[in-house]
Amino acid sequence: MAPRFAAVDVIRTKRDRGELSGDQIDWVVDAYTRGEVAEEQMSALAMAILLNGMTRAETSRWTTAMIDSGSRLDFTDLPRPSVDKHSTGGVGDKVTLPLAPLVAACGAAVPQLSGRGLGHTGGTLDKLESIPGWRASLTLPEIRRQLSDVGAVVCAATGDLAPADRKLYALRDVTSTVEAVPLIASSIMSKKIAEGTSALVLDVKTGSGAFMKELGQSLELARAMVDLGTDAGVRTVAVVTDMSTPLGRTAGNALEVRESVEVLAGGGPADLVELTLVLAREMLAAVGLDAVDPADALADGRAMDAWRRMVAAQGGDPDAALPVARHTSEVLAEADGVLDVDALAVGVAAWRLGAGRSRRDEAVQAGAGVELHAVRGDVVRRGQRLMTLHTDTPERFEWAGQALEGGWSIGGPADRPPLVHARITA
């Protein structure tokens, strides 16, 4: 049977700034996934999309085609309304850990299918795997049972969700087309829509430690993803939040789990608590539970109870001691003044200490990372401890220290930007 389209014609249409038809998009995504469209042809199409963009209709159809390359989950029969959260990633962004049990404690079901870290942004699964016994891989029946019993699950995505995205993402990574907003938006949203939740809240980061470093880019991505969710019938809202300086006071797997538990216990850094509550209120409102105040669930221990049940349901011991790195090194203030700390520098330092990976198959150190004793805007004194670096391999200290060079300074006022820059709705 002859192919319905020729790849070269699809490439030419987008190269010449034309709009791809729905049939062209369906065909090229399916044919590429099956190996009928060559890698060099999809590379050319991805570059044409990067340079010439896509309309909302094109991006929506592209996302649907990626979803249709695999299976869709369905949680409509759960006894609770389902809502998910996705973050575009940052430094110290451990919000999923306190957020999922908090929202579950308030009456919603949170199926949080997460991933592992690559580069300077940490992965949620890497953080949770620092808890002794905890396992990331669950079957679909186990996911459904945990959502019914506990209300929250954080686990690895099943392999048959949007398989086209896995293949296309690997190609974009080696062809310098990762930055194409339509492809970023469809990559994220194809997986999230395929997860089958009725509502979705997006935390789109902006600043030096984020994937999108300029506010305008972050707003563009947030709008594109909200439009995609809306077109797919998923109630979607995005908040654009600051990532110019680390979130909270830790970057590293077990360090971030420890800080998350502090939040669930009613403490924790003010910015981390604030963002957790902002996102929780958005998630609850999206499924009609906005009469519930998540701050109450933090204060009265319900969120902590949900956390303990969530961890235990996946084989983890919520009472077990978390891993601690064997070696530490301190960074001291060199003068009196007001501290400024850059998110990217801290993230790269944590990665170099062993908290992150440079290849997908690389192991991470559970105890490695950076602990901040002062944050942007704090007044510090000469000799004061600013950071503690943690690692099992002390030869990494020099490499991590190089990442921090120029990444913090002491001088005049260093006002922290607002935590939430914008809210985007349909």
* pLDDT, tens digit, 9 for 90 and up, residues 62-96: 999 999 999 999 999 999 999 999 999 999 999 99
Final residue of a structural domain among 285, 303, 319? 319
Q: How far apart are CA 177 and CA 16, in angstroms?
A: 18
Range of the domain at 29: 7-53
Angle at 399 between CA 117 and CA 396, to 5 degrees: 75
Same domain, 312 and 335: no
Instruction: Note whether residue 253 is domain-resident.
Output: yes
Output the domain CATH number for residue 49: 1.20.970.10
Neighbouring C-beta atoms of residue 414, cutoff 10 Å: 18
Same domain, 246 and 108: yes
Nearest by Cα to 184 from 99, 63, 39: 63
Same domain, 224 and 306: yes
Contacts of 128 (CB under 8 A, 6+ apart): 97, 134, 136, 154, 257, 311, 316
Same domain, 361 and 232: no
Q: For the segment 322-365, what is each residue's pLDDT rounded down to a tens digit?
A: 999 999 999 999 999 999 999 999 999 999 999 988 777 788 99
Same domain, 20 and 93: no
Same domain, 307 and 331: no
Tokens 């709008």 belong to 223
Final residue of a structural domain among 272, 298, 319? 319
Structural domains counted in the chain: 3
Query: Which of the four pLDDT bands, split at 50, 70 and 90, describes residue 119?
Result: low
Has residue 47 got a pLDDT over 80? yes
Q: What's the start-to-end Cα distance of the chain, in Å?
A: 42
Q: What is the pLDDT of residue 396?
A: 97
Same domain, 289 and 215: yes
- Give me the mean pLDDT over the 414-423 stretch: 90
Query: Which of the four pLDDT bands, split at 50, 70 and 90, describes residue 3?
Result: low
Instruction: Note whether residue 34 is domain-resident.
Output: yes
Rounded to the nearest integer, the mean pLDDT of the chain is: 95
Query: Which of the four pLDDT bands, split at 50, 70 and 90, describes residue 1?
Result: very low
Final residue of a structural domain among 319, 338, 368? 319
Nearest by Cα to 242 from 278, 209, 273, 200: 209
CB 63 within 8 A of CB 232: yes
CB 70 within 8 A of CB 33: no
Q: For the segment 303-325, what is each residue's pLDDT rounded down to a tens digit?
A: 999 999 999 999 999 999 999 99
Tokens 């929202």 belong to 103
CB 246 within 8 A of CB 374: no
Has residue 151 got a pLDDT over 60? yes
CA 352 to the chain's CA centroid: 20
Output the domain CATH number for residue 223: 3.40.1030.10
Contacts of 362 (CB under 8 A, 6+ apart): none
The alpha carbon torsion through 23, 29, 31, 34 (nearest 10 deg) reads: -150
Give percent of the chain with pLDDT exceeding 70: 99
Q: How far apart are CA 421 and CA 426, in angstroms?
A: 17
More confident residue, 288 or 117: 288
Same domain, 41 and 94: no
Phi, psi of 239 (to 5 degrees): -120, 135
Q: What is the pLDDT of residue 72?
A: 92
Instruction: Note whether residue 59 is domain-resident.
Output: no
CA 112 to the chain's CA centroid: 11
* Contacts within 8 Å (CB) and 24+ apart, 258-262: 258/322, 259/94, 260/94, 260/97, 260/98, 260/127, 261/304, 261/307
Q: Is the pTM of this model over 0.85?
A: yes
Output the domain CATH number for residue 404: 3.90.1170.30
Same domain, 309 and 402: no
Tokens 């192991």 belong to 363
Instruction: Note whether residue 420 is domain-resident.
Output: no
- Give me the mean pLDDT over the 234-258 stretch: 97
Instruction: Note whether residue 366 is domain-resident.
Output: yes
Q: What is the pLDDT of residue 361?
A: 76
Instruction: Note whether residue 1 is domain-resident.
Output: no
Instruction: Note whether residue 259 is domain-resident.
Output: yes
CB 154 within 8 A of CB 85: no
Instruction: Note whether residue 341 is domain-resident.
Output: yes
Same domain, 315 and 346: no
Same domain, 199 and 314: yes
Same domain, 287 and 389: no
Helix (H, G, I), strand (E, B) or coil at 304: helix
Q: How far apart are CA 7 and CA 174, in angstroms?
A: 20
- Give me the mean pLDDT over the 197-220 stretch: 96
Phi, psi of 321 (to 5 degrees): -70, 140
What residues are labeled active site? Answer: 86, 165, 172, 187, 191
